[in-house]
A and B are shown apart, each in its own frame.
Chain A
């Protein structure tokens, strides 16, 4: 099984600041990496797929980068609606995709 490890577990950021979230795979997943946002009481929402392609309707302040085993999600200027939990998911060995444990982005 491919293990996905996200860091940090919690990120405290002020509105308007940049947030950088990391995701590491236990083996190469090429560019088969997605990012999701989940707010309390809601279903996850796809932000990024293919490591760097924004899903439909996702604002440009969200960007993804990386390949192989190291990936980054950057939120360039945090808005109030961006405080949430973010998950990465590898789908290189679809359908047995695995998720990271999540990074909570909270208000500083």
Chain B
């Protein structure tokens, strides 16, 4: 059974940093691209970042490029999202998602809430 468990969310002030983690199990982690998708309170879904199975390819939405860094540790079956220079508009539930062979998201974690507020 595929399981994705996010952690690391919390309340931070604007300009601060936070690192999210996503522990994966139930599949061969290194064989799949992984992504982060966020959802602001009461809003729709927004793709944030993706990383290839090997970690050699990383991709970002324009809204987070230069501030967020995605990475993975295939020896630990864990995905990360380092978020720097956080802004109020980054407030959202952050989901990690296993990415299907062509780009759909076939499994999602339960989410971790990031709140950026002074």
Real complex partners, A and B? yes
Q: Which residues of A contact B (CB under 8 A)?
A: 32, 34, 36, 42-46, 49-50, 55, 87, 89, 91-92, 94-102
Indicate if the CB atoms of A44 and B108 lie closer than 8 Å. Answer: yes
A34–B45 Cα gap in the complex (Å)? 13
Stretch in B23-31, B82-90, B99-107 with 4+ CB within 8 Å of A: B99-107
Give the chain A neighbours of B105 by CB distance below 8 A: 34, 36, 44, 46, 89
Give the residue name and chain of the B residue nearest to A93 (CB): B103
Chain B count of residues within 8 A CB distance of the other chain:
22
Query: Is residue B21 contacting chain A, with contact meaning CB distance below 8 A?
Result: no
Given contacts A44-B105, A95-B35, contact A87 B59 (CB under 8 A): no
How would you classify the secondary structure of chain A's contact residues: helix, strand, loop or mixed? loop
Q: How many A-B contacts if CB must be within 8 Å?
A: 62
Indicate if the CB atoms of B59 and A49 lie closer than 8 Å. Answer: no
Give the chain B neighbours of A100 by CB distance below 8 A: 44
Indicate if the CB atoms of B102 and A43 lie closer than 8 Å. Answer: no
Q: Which 5 A-B pairs have the closest CB atoms?
A: A91-B103, A94-B103, A95-B50, A43-B108, A34-B104
Give the chain B neighbours of A49 by CB distance below 8 A: 100, 102, 104, 106
Give the residue name and chain of the B residue nearest to A102 (CB): B44
Give the chain A neighbours of B108 by CB distance below 8 A: 43-45
Indicate if the CB atoms of B95 and A44 lie closer than 8 Å. Answer: yes
Sample 17 A-B pairs with CB under 8 A, ordered by A number. A44-B45, A45-B108, A46-B105, A89-B45, A94-B50, A94-B102, A94-B103, A95-B35, A95-B50, A95-B99, A96-B47, A96-B61, A97-B47, A97-B103, A99-B45, A99-B46, A102-B44
Indicate if the CB atoms of B44 and A91 lie closer than 8 Å. Answer: no
Query: Is residue B114 contacting chain A, with contact meaning CB distance below 8 A?
Result: no
Give the chain B neighbours of A34 by CB distance below 8 A: 104-105
A45–B95 Cα gap in the complex (Å)? 12
